[in-house]
């Protein structure tokens, strides 16, 4: 699972303050519908991703990822997003709202930078409810959620928790809103339907079913016969492995030890 974020920063670089704001193209996410539904039909909906084209004082020129059309939106209605998961200047309540949008699943997450203080981060994760974890920073600029695990940068931290829950409510799965991708221009073409004459399976010789000889005279297609043969072979191996696994379980039991300073040191956020 960790590969969902690895390599994302290939165009970015770590700044001197340890943050991950790189030189990649600017992306923003809509924080609330614009214009308001009370005024007119919204042009942009909450959670929609936009490409930032230009900053012009209060108004930002943006391009819709879905329609590729340009328009303007107040900068107060959007938040910058870096690497797909680092959201700039959004509050706890807004993080919960974004993670609650359709397309997010258990383990969907975002890292948010405090609007009050630059360089102060929290991790928000969707589970049965959205959980928030304060990200602390050492004097050497390394980051941690639990003191027993420290990371040189935020990306290393995210990659680790994508592979292991390690005290979080669950392992991280995908960045918030990553499932909201623009639809493909090309509509999928339905596969052709091939009609075959009916026949009685009971009258088919089993040797013909599992035979993969393409030249044999058989009512069952070569592809179907090949699949049946592979399935029977796999089923046999699976049954053997299951028998051996059950035998091992009778001889030994698995033991899980909770490391010291583990779960008790995962701090939930309270203030921002």
The confidence band for 26, taking pLDDT boundaries of 50, 70 and 90, is confident
Interatomic CA distance for residues 108 and 87, integer angstroms:
14
> Which pLDDT score is estimated for 52?
94
User: What tokens were used for 45?
Assistant: 């909906």
- pTM equals 0.62
Range with lowest mean pLDDT among 193-202, 224-233, 246-255: 246-255
> Which pLDDT score is estimated for 228?
66
Range with lowest mean pLDDT among 9-13, 38-42, 76-80, 212-216: 9-13
Q: Which residue has the tokens 């300073």?
A: 261
Mean pLDDT of all residues in 121-138: 96
Protein fold of 2-163: SHC Adaptor Protein (3.30.505)
Interatomic CA distance for residues 213 and 226, integer angstroms:
9
List pLDDT tens digits, range 39-68. Answer: 899 999 999 999 999 998 899 999 998 889
Domain boundaries, the chain: 2-163, 202-244
- Is a pLDDT exceeding 50 seen at residue 242? yes
DSSP secondary structure of 36-47:
-TTTS--SB-TT
Q: Which residue has the tokens 């193209």?
A: 25
Give 246's Cβ-side CA count (13 Å radius).
6
Q: What angle do CA 21, 51, 28 make, to 5 degrees?
A: 55
Interatomic CA distance for residues 11 and 2, integer angstroms:
18
Q: Give the mean pLDDT of the chain.
A: 76
Percent share of the chain, pLDDT over 70 = 57
Interatomic CA distance for residues 35 and 204, integer angstroms:
67
Helix (H), strand (E) at residue 163 = helix 154-163
> Which pLDDT score is estimated for 180?
62
Mean pLDDT of all residues in 224-246: 63
- Is a pLDDT exceeding 50 seen at residue 22? no
- Is a pLDDT exceeding 50 seen at residue 245? yes
- Is a pLDDT exceeding 50 seen at residue 84? yes
Q: Quick check: helix, strand or coil at residue 143?
A: strand
> Which pLDDT score is estimated for 63?
94
Percent share of the chain, pLDDT over 90 = 49
- Is a pLDDT exceeding 50 seen at residue 13? no
Count of other CB atoms within 10 angstroms of residue 181: 11
Closest CA to 28 of 91, 92, 96, 74: 74
> Which pLDDT score is estimated for 2?
42
56: which strand partners? 59
Q: What are phi and psi of 83, to 5 degrees?
A: 60, 15
List pLDDT tens digits, range 198-218. Answer: 556 566 566 665 555 555 555
Range with lowest mean pLDDT among 68-82, 112-126, 136-150, 198-212: 198-212
């Amino acid at each position: 699972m960790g590969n969902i974020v690895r390599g994302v920063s290939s165009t970015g670089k770590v700044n001197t303050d340890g943050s991950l704001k790189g030189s990649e193209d600017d992306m923003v996410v809509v924080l609330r519908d614009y214009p308001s539904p009370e005024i007119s039909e919204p042009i942009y909906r909450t959670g929609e991703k936009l490409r930032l084209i230009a900053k012009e004082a209060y108004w930002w020129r943006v391009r819709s990822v879905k329609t590729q059309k340009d328009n303007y939106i107040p900068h107060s209605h959007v938040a910058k997003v870096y690497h797909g998961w680092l959201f700039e200047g959004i509050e706890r309540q807004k993080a919960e709202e974004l993670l609650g949008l359709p397309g997010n699943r258990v383990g969907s997450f975002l890292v948010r930078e405090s609007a009050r203080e630059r360089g102060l981060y929290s991790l928000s994760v969707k589970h049965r409810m959205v959980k928030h974890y304060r990200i602390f920073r050492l004097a050497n600029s390394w980051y941690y959620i639990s003191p027993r695990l420290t990371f040189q940068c935020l990306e290393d931290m995210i990659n680790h928790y994508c592979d292991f829950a390690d005290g979080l409510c669950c392992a991280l799965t995908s960045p918030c809103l990553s499932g909201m991708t623009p639809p493909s221009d090309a509509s999928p073409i339905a596969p052709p339907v091939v009609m075959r004459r009916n026949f009685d399976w009971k009258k088919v010789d089993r040797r013909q079913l599992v035979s993969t000889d393409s030249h044999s005279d058989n009512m069952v297609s070569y592809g179907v016969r090949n699949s049946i043969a592979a399935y029977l072979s796999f089923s046999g191996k699976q049954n053997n492995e299951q028998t051996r696994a059950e035998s091992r379980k009778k001889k030994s039991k698995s033991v899980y030890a909770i490391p010291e300073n583990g779960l008790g040191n995962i701090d939930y956020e309270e203030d921002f």
